[in-house]
Structure 1
Amino acid sequence: MKSFLYKIPLILMLIGSFVHAQDEVLTKEEAINLILENNLDIKVARNTKLIDENNADILNSGYLPSVTGNASGSIDKQNSEGVLANGDTRRAEGAETRRYNAAVNVNYTLFDGLGRYYNYKSFQERSEQSELEVRQTIENTILQLFTVYYEAARLTENTATLEQALEISKDRLKRAQYQFEFGQNTGLDVLNAEVDINTDSINLLNSKQQLRNTMRDLNLILNRDLSAQFTADTTVTFVPGLQMENMYNEAQINNVRLQIVEKDINMGLNDIRIAKSGYLPTVGLTGAYGWNESSNNSPLAFALQNTSTGVTGTVNLTWNLFDGGTTITGIKNAKIAYQNQEIAKKQIQLEVERDIRNAWDSYTNALYVLQVQEKNLQTNQNNFTRTDERYKLGQVTSIEFRQAQLNLLNAELAKSQAKYNAKLAEIQMLQVSGQLLNVDF
């Protein structure tokens, strides 16, 4: 046991050097900036948003005409024979005819039953929905970020608390050894103190290992070097003046899930209108500018060379009087899909109401627990101070002293856990109410 006891300080010194080397304090603002810049899920969501923005552009609307150009050329060699009016016969061996033409064609749909209009509106709705999805990804990622960040902060506090507990146990061991040397106690107190040092040392080792693992988890979320060293900010401030009624009203307006499903409903309504456009005619305009040239070296040809240019324009109307029921079926299906979207909205509204009420209860309960743990910590601090004084006077046993020390340690750890639980509950409530990106952390 003693050989292991002598090795523990060396192990703690090596791990302590790792912890103290972490001079960089990663503030909450810096963590948010890093995650907005580097997180891979956010990058994918933003790229998807760019695609939807391109789809909603005028170039993809169908409102612009299509212009095509074409050109061709041909060479024809023929042997021909002809009889003139005076009865003479003429022959042309290998007579060559060349033909060239080029044209520019313009096609434009003047009216398509408003299908193009509502399709363009759906693309715009989808672009706005994609922006909301980016916000949703950012909110979820920030919640994930602070879940890990505050865990790192909690473990940082725990590690410092366990270090203090180890120092207290070391002082107790020195005191027990002095008392044993002067015959004031038995060797049992020394052995108990050594056992408690081993226990505190192992707890500290485990806490530091958990802290290193959590730091790597945070670096992974931030998409940076997993071995990057930092120190988490353990300061926690709560948003003042939160009220249940206000949170509920904000959730009905700003909750990102409700806003996304609202865009689905708008697009579903546009789908019905697009399907109904099949009942209306399509009016189109076509125009062309062409150039033609032909040459013929045959003596029998009426003209040896001919060139022509010209402009043509056409207005056409197409009305599909009956398409076998395809339009009717499309309208029915679009209406059913629209009804499903309205049902989904009602379901999400109920879920959001449940989530905001659950989040509020969790938040208020966590704040209450924090207050209780703060009072409990103060009580245990006072108790340990008195016990320490009496222990020095020999009025309490080492077992009683150790129990007071453990009570204080547990109270400190519980208070730290309650603090971060309350902050995470607040963040979750802010997310459900749609206010997560509007507050300072």
Structure 2
Amino acid sequence: MNIRTFLILLCSCFLQIGIAQELISPQQAVDLTLSNNYGIKISNQDVELAENNAKLLNSGFLPTLTGNAGSTFNIDNTEAEFSDGRVTKLTNAESSRYNASLNLNYILFDGLGRAYNYKRLKEQYNLTELQARETIENTIIQLFTVYYDVAKFSENLEAQEETLLISKDRLTRSEYQFEYGQNTKLVVLNAQVDINNDSISIITTRQQLNNTKRDLAFILGQSDNNFDVSTNFELNGLLDKSTLLEQSKTKNIALLQTEKNIDINELTIKANRSGYLPTVGLVGTYGWNRNNNNAASFVAVSTNTGLSGGINLSWNLFDGGTTITQVKNAKINLDTQKLLKEQLLLDIERNFNNAWDDYTNKLLIYKVQSENIRTAKSNFERTEEKFKIGQVNSIEFRQAQLNLLNAELLQTQAKYDAKLSELVVLQLSGELLNTAF
């Protein structure tokens, strides 16, 4: 089997591999990621934990009820001397005691500490939801970074396979021309070398495509990477910079988390201040006691049941400065969060402007590359016609062929770079999850 036959079979095998694979659209990719991605699943588990913590059962508002029970058993040796001189001795005298009780404790007032702590748990739940949203947004950006890589390598592979077919046709023509004495063996060898190079490029791109598909399957939470992705999408050229910039100052996920931390710290200050106030509690007990006494006792058996209740007040007049320190530190933390918010607003505006410039520049590059590919196609078609009639040599034809291939690869790269930069702008403005993919 010669090299030409081997390469034809190899390329046929490559073409057959791509047949009958499932096509995953961008929206389907997002849906699969939201359902199966392990990072998102873990963040959802964190939300469930925060939700449990923010419920009434963890608030401290409900009373506590405890049950106690016990028993004792005694064997005593007793010697009793009475006033009239009589002496009574008991050996191995048995006695036993049994008790059971229910104890109720309920805090009526604790300086509003538990009320603020309950509100703080609610806000921490909201913060956890925002953190889960941030995980989702970052995962979607990661998803499309890989998704567009798969699409790019798929398109590159098609362009390279088309280039290989052209190179094969050129080799066939060169062999015929050599047989009829119209060119030298060197022209045939050059054509064979170009086929080898094109085949190596296809093998390399195929490997890159397979590796990237595995990366995409991992993000999708799938074990099978036997799928294709869509290469057809529209670039949204209607984004309004001023509107998105204003939204980034109110909807950006990092900013929302900082604002939520400010709310939590304000509640922390109020909760810590509750240490200055007294605590009033309600206590109640229902008890049962039974005593089986030995013979030395005046009462052989006694059984008591009873209900008791009361109110207690506790006021920590001075705790060594712990409460004062906690309040001061909470105020410092609040001031820190406010400073972080101011810094973050500047950072968001800077990042947004950078992302917007990157987006507009990549849109422009894509348009330029689209014009360039039209020029390269026109140049190649003219060169091909001249090559067929012998007006250009194989080196000039090959150069036109490579110029067209490079233009196609650069246009594909520019297209997906522009689309990804568009998603980054939407993420910074807080609109990523409101986008139709």
Q: Shorter chain as normaliser: what TM range?
A: over 0.9
Structure 2 match to 1:243:
240
* Whole-angstrom CA distance in 1 between matches of 2:421 and 2:406: 22
Structure 2 match to 1:10:
9
| Aligned residue identity for 1:81 | A
State the 1:92 CA deviation: 5.5
State the 1:187 CA deviation: 2.9
Structure 2 match to 1:38:
36
| Aligned residue identity for 1:160 | E
Deviations 1:215-263 (A, max 9, x none): 11112222322x5311111112233531101111121121111111111
Structure 2 match to 1:399:
395
Which of 256, 259, 263 is equivalent to 2:256? 259
**SS of the residue 1:184 aligns to:** coil
State the 1:120 CA deviation: 1.2
**SS of the residue 1:185 aligns to:** coil
* Whole-angstrom CA distance in 2 between matches of 1:81 and 1:394: 138
* Whole-angstrom CA distance in 1 between matches of 2:434 and 2:96: 74
**SS of the residue 2:18 aligns to:** helix
* Whole-angstrom CA distance in 2 between matches of 1:81 and 1:401: 128
Which of 290, 293, 303 is equivalent to 1:293? 290
State the 1:82 CA deviation: 4.6
Structure 1 match to 2:319:
323
Deviates more, 1:418-427 or 1:241-250: 241-250
State the 1:280 CA deviation: 0.7
Structure 2 match to 1:436:
432
**SS of the residue 1:64 aligns to:** coil
Structure 2 match to 1:278:
275
Paired residues, number = 435
Which of 84, 105, 108 is equivalent to 1:107? 105
| Aligned residue identity for 1:415 | Q
Deviates more, 1:114-123 or 1:302-311: 302-311
Q: How does 1:42-53 map to 2 (within 5 A)?
A: 42-53=40-51
State the 1:198 CA deviation: 1.7
| Aligned residue identity for 1:183 | G
Q: How does 1:1-400 map to 2 (within 5 A)?
A: 4-20=3-19, 23-78=21-76, 79-83=78-82, 87=84, 89=86, 91=88, 93-94=90-91, 95-225=93-223, 228-239=225-236, 241-296=238-293, 298=295, 301-400=297-396
State the 1:211 CA deviation: 0.8
* Whole-angstrom CA distance in 2 between matches of 1:90 and 1:73: 31
* Whole-angstrom CA distance in 2 between matches of 1:216 and 1:292: 71
- Supply the RMSD in Å over aligned alpha carbons: 1.9
State the 1:104 CA deviation: 0.5
State the 1:4 CA deviation: 4.4
* Whole-angstrom CA distance in 2 between matches of 1:124 and 1:233: 42
State the 1:279 CA deviation: 0.8
Deviations 1:37-66 (A, max 9, x none): 221111211111111111111111111111
Segments of 5+ residues of structure 2 without an aligned counterpart are: none
TM-score, normalising length from structure 1? 0.93
Q: In 2, are the aligned partners of 1:12 and 1:205 still within 8 Å (CA)?
A: no
| Aligned residue identity for 1:378 | R
Q: In 2, are the aligned partners of 1:103 and 1:290 still within 8 Å (CA)?
A: yes
State the 1:99 CA deviation: 2.3
**SS of the residue 2:310 aligns to:** strand
| Aligned residue identity for 1:364 | T
**SS of the residue 1:203 aligns to:** helix
Q: What percentage of aligned pairs have identical amino acids? A: 48
* Whole-angstrom CA distance in 1 between matches of 2:3 and 2:195: 11
* Whole-angstrom CA distance in 2 between matches of 1:228 and 1:248: 38
* Whole-angstrom CA distance in 2 between matches of 1:77 and 1:181: 123
State the 1:307 CA deviation: 2.2
| Aligned residue identity for 1:134 | A
State the 1:6 CA deviation: 4.7
* Whole-angstrom CA distance in 2 between matches of 1:64 and 1:423: 54
| Aligned residue identity for 2:17 | F
| Aligned residue identity for 1:247 | L
* Whole-angstrom CA distance in 2 between matches of 1:77 and 1:410: 102
| Aligned residue identity for 1:381 | K
State the 1:308 CA deviation: 2.1
Segments of 5+ residues of structure 1 without an aligned counterpart are: none
State the 1:438 CA deviation: 1.0
| Aligned residue identity for 2:408 | E
* Whole-angstrom CA distance in 1 between matches of 2:95 and 2:87: 18
Q: In 2, are the aligned partners of 1:5 and 1:198 still within 8 Å (CA)?
A: no
Deviations 1:78-116 (A, max 9, x none): 4242526xx373625244433222111001111111111
Q: In 2, are the aligned partners of 1:362 and 1:425 still within 8 Å (CA)?
A: yes
| Aligned residue identity for 1:338 | L
Deviations 1:169-205 (A, max 9, x none): 1111111222222233333322222222222121112
State the 1:305 CA deviation: 2.7
State the 1:166 CA deviation: 0.8
